[in-house]
Each structure stands twice: as structure tokens, then as C-alpha cells.
Amino acid sequence: MMMQEQTHKDAEGAILFDVEASPQVGHDWFAPDYWRERGALHTQAGGRGGVAIVATPVGECVLRHYRRGGLVAALMGDRYLWTGADRTRPFAEFRLLAEIARLELPGPAVVAARYCRHGMFYSADLITRRIADARTLAECLAAGRLDGELAEEVGALVARFHRAGVWHADLNAHNVLVAPDELYLIDFDRGRMRIPSVAWQQANLQRLRRSLLKLGAAADGEAAFEKRIWQPLLYRYGRTLNP
């Protein structure tokens, strides 16, 4: 089903939503306390992003508040410089996820995005449908479940997005979800469509590699990691990128 995008603007800011998903999205939907008061907030994680799992009228969803990371977080927190509605982080990610769905790639289904103006700055939130029974690739690694077979599936997943020209700004083991039926890429903040190019595709892969190494994937030595994990991943990546 094609998405029917609609925008609601008011004094607080604007909400971009899929009419087919829900015609009733309001500012309350982006407030964890709203769901908590109704017993509909299942879990809430701290740290960057402030992610909450909420039971909405359209099913379980992930509510994510945009928050800066790194040194700039101490200065800006959750504020971003205003340069126009279409250039806000949530609206850009909403539309990229809509394109990913149109391309039939495995990403989170988007429900709604919001920004709130604060003079020269804005804060932002995004709601996507929850992918059930999924674990991150990082969690699979920690549980000893990352083997050559799973590595090949990850390689095929990344290649499908790269072949379509989808650039993920932060491709790491926390943003690959392993579900019983399929693997997914999540968190497309700052991602965009690009003309396929070996340069950015390889840079993306190296980012994933660094993430795996940082999480201890080479505990038995880098040579073992190359043979058991990385080479199977690259093999399947290449076969999928250029069938």
C-alpha cells in the first residue's frame, strides 16, 4: 500500500504522518508520559535518543527522540539549527524510510515525524512500527550467535541497500536487527539516497567492520575474525551487489 503523506502544522511545530497508518496522530503521541499514563509504555531506554516502546492504536511502535551525541551534546542537547521544515532530521528520515518501503527493502515502517520550533532551533521525534522479536547484531555477537551463516545474511542485507543507492550514515552492529523472518537496517537519521559508488559503499562496510571489532568480534584474533566472519560477509555482499 502506498503511503499517503500529510502534514499538520500548528503553533508548536509540525507533524508529518502517514494517513493510511493513522489519521489521528497528535502531539501527545510523541510524549512518553502520555503513553505511561495509559499503561501503554512498555519500555523506555535512556542514553542518546531516548527510545520508548509504546502500544499505539496502530500497534506497537518505537518512539525516538532525536538527541545529539559526542562533545556537541553537552552544548546543544536535543536542539538542532532551524534551516526549514523539509531539512529537519525527522522529516528527512520519514521520507527516506518511505522510499525504502517503496523499494521493498527491509527497514522500519514509518508512522509519524514531528519537529517543535524553539526560535532558531528545533527539537524532534520519530515514530516507527516496532519490529517484533528482533535482536541487534551486537546482541547476537554478545550471545555467541554471530557465525559465518549470519555474517553472510548481513552482507546480503547491506548489499541490497547499497545496490538501491541507500546510504546509512551510521552503519554499525547496533543498527542491524536480526528477526526470525528477516534482517533489517534501522536508524536512518542523516541517511540519504546516493548514486551507487564503490567509495561510499566500501566506507560504509568499513564502518560496520570497526563496530564489530570494537564489540569484541576479534576476541580470538583478527585472522580468525577475517576467516570466520568478515570474508563470508564480503563474499555474500559481492554476490548480492553484482548478481
Cα–Cα dist 147/42, whole Å: 31
- Which of 44-53, 76-85, 132-141, 142-151 is predicted with the least confidence, judged by mean pLDDT? 44-53
Q: What is the pLDDT at residue 12? A: 92
**pLDDT for 38-88, tens place per residue?**
999 887 665 455 789 999 998 999 999 998 876 666 677 799 999 999 999
Active site residue 78: no
Average pLDDT, the chain: 93
**pLDDT for 7-38, tens place per residue?**
999 999 999 998 887 777 999 999 999 999 99
128 — pLDDT class (breaks 50, 70, 90): very high
> Up-side HSE of residue 72: CA atoms within 13 Å toward CB?
8
- Percent of residues, the chain, with pLDDT higher than 90: 84
Over range 226-239, report the average pLDDT: 98
Residue 92 has pLDDT above 90, yes or no: yes
State pTM to two decimals.
0.94
Q: What DSSP character marks residue 226? A: I
Residue 153 has pLDDT above 70, yes or no: yes
Q: What is the pLDDT at residue 48? A: 52
How far lies 130's CA from each of 29, 115, 151, 201, in Å? 15, 21, 23, 27
Burial of 93 (0-12, 13-18, 19+ CB in 10 A): buried
Over range 186-200, report the average pLDDT: 97
Task: Answer whether 177's CB lies under 8 Å from 186's CB.
Answer: yes
Residue with cell 551510521: 170
**pLDDT for 205-227, tens place per residue?**
999 999 999 999 999 999 999 99
- Which CATH number is associated with domain 135-241? 1.10.510.10
Residue 1 has pLDDT above 90, yes or no: no
Question: H helices of the chain, where?
Answer: 32-37, 72-76, 89-102, 137-142, 148-164, 198-214, 222-225, 231-241
Show the cell assigned to 123.
527539537
Show the cell assigned to 47.
542514553
> Up-side HSE of residue 9: CA atoms within 13 Å toward CB?
3
Cα–Cα dist 222/230, whole Å: 10
Over range 155-177, report the average pLDDT: 97
Q: What is the pLDDT at residue 47? A: 46
Cα–Cα dist 218/50, whole Å: 30
Q: What is the pLDDT at residue 73? A: 61
Q: What is the pLDDT at residue 22? A: 74
User: Given 10, 18, 133, 170, which residue is catalytic?
Assistant: 170
